[in-house]
Amino acid sequence: MATIATPPTTYQTKILIGDQWRDSVSGKTFSTINPATEEVIAEVAEGDAADIDLAVTAARNAFESGPWASMDARDRGMLLMKLADLMEARLEELAALETLDNGKPISDARAADLPLAIDCLRYYGGWADKIQGATIPIRGNYFCYTRREPVGVCGQIIPWNFPILMAAWKWGPALAAGKTVVMEPDEQTPLTCLRIAELAFEAGFPPGVINVVPGFGPTAGASLVKHPNVDKIAFTGEHHTGKIIMKDAAATLKRLTFELGGKSPNIVFADANLDDAVAGAEFGLFFNQGQCCCAGSRLFVEDSVHDEFVERVVERAKERVVGNPFDGDTTQGPQVDQAQMEKILGFIEKGKEQGADCLIGGSRVGDQGYFIEPTVFDNVTDDMDIAQHEIFGPVMNILRFKDVDEVIERSNRTMFGLAAAVWTSDVTKAHRIASEVRAGTVW
């Protein structure tokens, strides 16, 4: 019997600008909600254009003068390492805070989000003094070389599905390179980002290097994108938002780095080790309540093993433990908020209407907290909404295929191209999928 973890009871809820934790200029706050109970956890300062402007000024000053601007690369790296150490020392506290604000099972926060975030900061800490340019032989009596220089102030906009890990993915490379950052965490899950910003101070990052402005996308996020003193935007979120950001950034010709949505094919061939493939399909879809941009959300299964595979994957889905995310035995917590829950239930209804077979699940669990049953649809076809759109929930969609040419063609019939996976014992086939399925990552 696993123990129940204890949620933290105190939170940082203010805006971080320079070395100050402040209320918003407007005085406004918003509620952050515990998705397992629907109760308000805390009121958080709601930043908008005025707060972003102050944060950008602090970041600009820290970039251009003061200790950060003249710090040796190695020392920047050491600060990232120190932050990683502090997070490691508080792993349980941070995991519990993430579980409280996001709803993910504490076992996942402990085993995945925190260790991965800590690894990421250490990894980039190691890069800080290894960022090199090149010498270039050119015609004539010239010495030609390149230097890699930090771009300046980086605006960073992150989603709610892996709040602490997203912050680490964005801070690590930017700070290793010597940029300063203004981060806008998602309004659903601001608490861990604010807490690790406190730890960054403890680690010794100079004021203004890291600024955090919680708020809403169309106000705080958009003003960060439009701000003339921000040199670059790094964004992870929905592709619709990516389009808005690209437009908004055009006026100031900002550099952009995006990680957007996906509808990733997970392809199971008949010659795969089915134990591994079933476990991989379950993890690839249900991990994090299905709230992963790279979720294996189109599960293609070869005809000859289809029936056996489906039976086994359904058995595994039935074994998932949905409930209190603070219970160490729980494997599936609530969705992050009511809007997401309703969107997912809407897709489930569409799947039923359009003729897919709902083998298990399909409904909300209980009436408090945003829990959804692990759901498996079989006999899904390419044109159905559940096969086309990002559901971002615990909804597995199984599609049949007959041969390798067909599955490659169908895998590519999507506007996304984030990730893909293949299960086979034929290495030739695996490499063919890796090269012909258009995806940024193929497992």
By beta-carbon proximity to ligand ADP, the closer residue of 102 and 180 is 102
Scanning 120-128, 152-160, 174-182, 399-407 for contacts with ligand ADP by CB under 6 A, the matching segment is: 152-160
Instruction: Enumerate long-range contacts of 237-246, CB under 8 Å, 24 or more apart.
Output: 237/157, 237/158, 237/159, 237/186, 238/159, 238/390, 239/415, 239/416, 241/217, 245/157, 245/221
| Interaction between residue 244 and ligand ADP (CB under 6 A) | yes
| DSSP state for residue 220 in the 8-state scheme | I
Selected from 241, 297, 335, 411, the binder of ligand ADP by CB under 6 A is 241
Q: Give me the residues paired with residue 377 across strands.
A: 358, 397
Count of CA atoms in the C-beta half-sphere (13 A) of 315: 9
**Two tokens at 197?**
């910003």
- Shortest approach of ligand ADP to residue 184 CB, angstroms? 5
| Interaction between residue 157 and ligand ADP (CB under 6 A) | yes
Rg of the chain on CA atoms, in Å: 23
**Two tokens at 80?**
């990232």
The answer to whether residue 293 is catalytic is yes
Which of 154, 193, 293, 294 is flagged as catalytic? 293
The interface with ligand ADP within residues 174-193 (CB under 6 A) comprises 184, 186
- Shortest approach of ligand ADP to residue 372 CB, angstroms? 16
- Shortest approach of ligand ADP to residue 185 CB, angstroms? 6
**Two tokens at 162?**
């892996």
By beta-carbon proximity to ligand ADP, the closer residue of 157 and 419 is 157
Scanning 107-115, 167-175, 211-219, 352-360 for contacts with ligand ADP by CB under 6 A, the matching segment is: 211-219
**Two tokens at 195?**
């807490």
The answer to whether residue 358 is catalytic is no
CA 43 – CA 60 distance, rounded (Å) = 29
By beta-carbon proximity to ligand ADP, the closer residue of 136 and 250 is 250
Q: Which residue has the closest beta carbon to ligand ADP? A: 217
CA 382 – CA 31 distance, rounded (Å) = 40
| Nearby residues of 361 by Cβ (< 8 Å), 6 or more positions away | 317, 348, 372, 373, 374, 375, 376, 394, 395
By beta-carbon proximity to ligand ADP, the closer residue of 53 and 238 is 238
Is residue 178 within a helix (H) or strand (E), and if so which, with residue range? none
Which of 98, 259, 282, 302 is flagged as catalytic? 259
The interface with ligand ADP within residues 219-238 (CB under 6 A) comprises 221-222, 225, 237-238
By beta-carbon proximity to ligand ADP, the closer residue of 119 and 248 is 248
- Shortest approach of ligand ADP to residue 221 CB, angstroms? 2
Q: Which residue has the tokens 């030739």?
A: 428
- Active-site residues, by number, are 259, 293
Query: Applying CB under 6 A, which residues contact ligand ADP?
Result: 157-160, 184, 186, 216-218, 221-222, 225, 237-238, 241, 244-245
